[in-house]
Amino acid sequence: MKPFFTSLFLITLSWGTFGLMPKKLPNGKSRTFVPNIDNPRNDLQAISPGTALLISKNWMQNILLDVMTQRRTKKISSGYEFVYDDLHIMSGIQELQKDIEESQKKSNQLWTDMLNVKDNHATSFIYLAWKPKNLQGIDEVLFVVVAEIIQKKQDEEQYVNYVLQIKNVIQSPFWDEEQIPSIYLKHSLVDQNKHTNATDLSFDYLYETNLRYKLAWDVWFREITS
């Protein structure tokens, strides 16, 4: 069994800018991202809680700025500022902030210790950024994923099974399915978990709390592939 996410955490995530790009190119065509089909896990990069918070706050600021701009140009009226996608993103960001606050309460626990599931006896949060290749050369995070490692005892012999539970998935406000379907993010998570072979991957919590991903990643995808 490989140490949990060891290979993933050896990747260094570099940041040139946190500025977000519009959904469309100047010619009106959609920006295009392509998944790594051979090794989907390579589209994932581990990030620190601080980086996850910085990205998400930048997204929230862009949403608020867009609302203010539209109100100034009178494209929207008071009371109709946010579309469903915006509310969905902001709700996810608020949940992310709560998770980070909870993890900070365990500040006496080293980050490297949290990654070693064999020695960890408490829930540990892991933050991931999904960055598939962009055909226009744009380096951008499309999704931030919050996962947690949970211990589950299987029997009276105290056998412990470790579950990687996907808890929260937050999309960039400038991403849409036309650029790249989000199902490829699920493929990346499945491939990474299979590669490390240290935990069982679970989407149950995500599906129970977020109907959008239940439909897109489970119900509709099954119907398409059946």
Please give the structure tokens belonging to residue 149.
């490692």
Element (H, E) at 24: none
CATH number for the domain including 102?
A: 3.40.630
DSSP 63-124: HHHHHHHHHHTTSS-TT----HHHHHHHHHHHHHHHHHHHHHTTTTS-HHHHH-TTT--S-E
Note whether residue 7 is domain-resident.
no
Q: Contact at 8 Å (CB) between 81 and 74? A: no
Query: pTM here?
Result: 0.77
Q: What is the domain count for the chain? A: 1
From 4, 12, 6, select the one nearest 131 (Cα to Cα): 12
For residue 212, give its domain range: 35-225
Q: Contact at 8 Å (CB) between 185 and 169? A: yes
Condensed to tens digits (0 to 9), the pLDDT of residues 16-51 reads: 334 345 566 666 678 899 999 999 999 999 999 999
Note whether residue 21 is domain-resident.
no
Element (H, E) at 148: strand 143-153
Range with the largest mean pLDDT of 71-80, 174-183, 217-226:
174-183
Note whether residue 8 is domain-resident.
no
Note whether residue 17 is domain-resident.
no
Note whether residue 19 is domain-resident.
no
Q: Contact at 8 Å (CB) between 142 and 131? A: yes
Note whether residue 10 is domain-resident.
no
Condensed to tens digits (0 to 9), the pLDDT of residues 133-175 reads: 999 888 899 999 999 998 877 666 677 788 999 999 999 998 9
Note whether residue 9 is domain-resident.
no
